[in-house]
Amino acid sequence: MRKTIIAGNWKMNHTGKETRETITALVQGLTGAEQADIVIAPVFPYLPMAVELTKGTAVHVAAQNMHWLDNGAYTGEVSPAMLKDIGVSHVIIGHSERREYNNETDETVNLKVKSALAHGLTPILCCGETLAQREGGIMQSWIEGQIENALKDIAAADITKVVIAYEPIWAIGTGKTATAAQAEEVCDIIRKKLAALYDDTAAQDVSILYGGSVKGKNAAELTACPDIDGGLVGGASLKAGDFLEIIHKAVIK
């Protein structure tokens, strides 16, 4: 059975004080009956604080990025071994903003996914299309290509350790949201691609999240879809109350 996962990507937001206050309020607001994995991804400087504040709770801590090597002359980078060392359990890989602003490619995404798995980190692998790609009729082939390239040489035994997040680029930070039907259509495409690459049993065990202006008002409808197992939440995860509303409205399969 695949997990319901509600993840919050904080991007480049929250000072140390804000990070502490938000995590404290989030932990206090959880009832213990959510039956979902809760993940937060603060900025790098506050990851140790986040790990400490979430010990013994249902909240897991993710990094927003990592290099695929353990060490080396890579100024500004952080390795998977370092993340594991401080207690981080998840890592977001291939977010559209990283691809656009930091020149990430399908090849580097693949290297990072493989490295994360090798270090016992759970990769949250992002994929998604632009509005031009959707309107140009290449959405499906683009998404399938991203999935196939990102999972190159990843064994069937490891695929269920990967979480996939579908993020329509045209709905990130724009206030636009894919309808539940649009989101489900793409998540179904992703699951069928996983079945083609591996098998149907493995595909059914992979958690697929929707990421694109997830809010309290649409969380239940989105997660009620058969192939959507939670959300990768952006701005709405920065306030504990808003994030808790999404968590509590998520449909647990």
Domains along the sequence of the chain with CATH: 5-249 (3.20.20.70)
Residue 119 known to be catalytic: no
In the predicted model, is pLDDT for residue 252 greater than 70? no
Q: Please tell me whether 11 is known to bind a ligand.
A: yes
pLDDT higher at 163 or 135: 163
pLDDT band, residue 170 (cuts 50/70/90): confident
Q: Among the listed ranges 40-44, 60-64, 99-103, 209-213, which one has the minimum average pLDDT value?
A: 209-213
Residue 95 known to be catalytic: yes
pLDDT at 1: 75
Q: Please tell me whether 68 is known to bind a ligand.
A: no
16 CB-near residues (< 8 Å, 6+ apart): 45, 46, 49
Catalytic residue among 60, 90, 95, 119: 95
- Asked if 144 contacts 193 with a C-beta cutoff of 8 angstroms, the reply is yes
pLDDT band, residue 122 (cuts 50/70/90): very high
Rounded to an integer, the average pLDDT of 64-91 is 98
- Cα diameter, the chain: 48
Q: What are the tokens at 214?
A: 């997830």
Q: Please tell me whether 231 is known to bind a ligand.
A: no
Catalytic residue among 97, 129, 167, 184: 167
Is the CA virtual torsion 113, 159, 173, 237 positive or negative?
Answer: negative
Q: Please tell me whether 170 is known to bind a ligand.
A: no
Q: Please tell me whether 212 is known to bind a ligand.
A: no
In the predicted model, is pLDDT for residue 58 greater than 80? yes
- Using CA atoms, how far apart are residues 213 and 235, in angstroms rounded to an integer? 8
pTM: 0.96
CB atoms within 10 A of CB 20: 16
Average pLDDT over the chain, rounded to an integer = 94
- Asked if 225 contacts 189 with a C-beta cutoff of 8 angstroms, the reply is no
CB atoms within 10 A of CB 231: 29
Single-letter code of the amino acid located at 101 = Y
Q: What are the tokens at 34?
A: 């959510």
3-state secondary structure the chain: CCCCEEEEECCCCCCHHHHHHHHHHHHHHCCCCCCCEEEEECCHHHHHHHHHHHCCCCEEEEECCCCCCCCCCCCCCCCHHHHHHCCCCEEEECCHHHHHHCCCCHHHHHHHHHHHHHCCCEEEEEECCCHHHHHCCCHHHHHHHHHHHHCCCCCHHHHCCCEEEECCHHHCCCCCCCCHHHHHHHHHHHHHHHHHHCCHHHHHCCCEEECCCCCHHHHHHHHCCCCCCEEEECHHHCCHHHHHHHHHHCCCC
In the predicted model, is pLDDT for residue 173 greater than 90? no
pLDDT at 253: 40
pLDDT band, residue 213 (cuts 50/70/90): confident
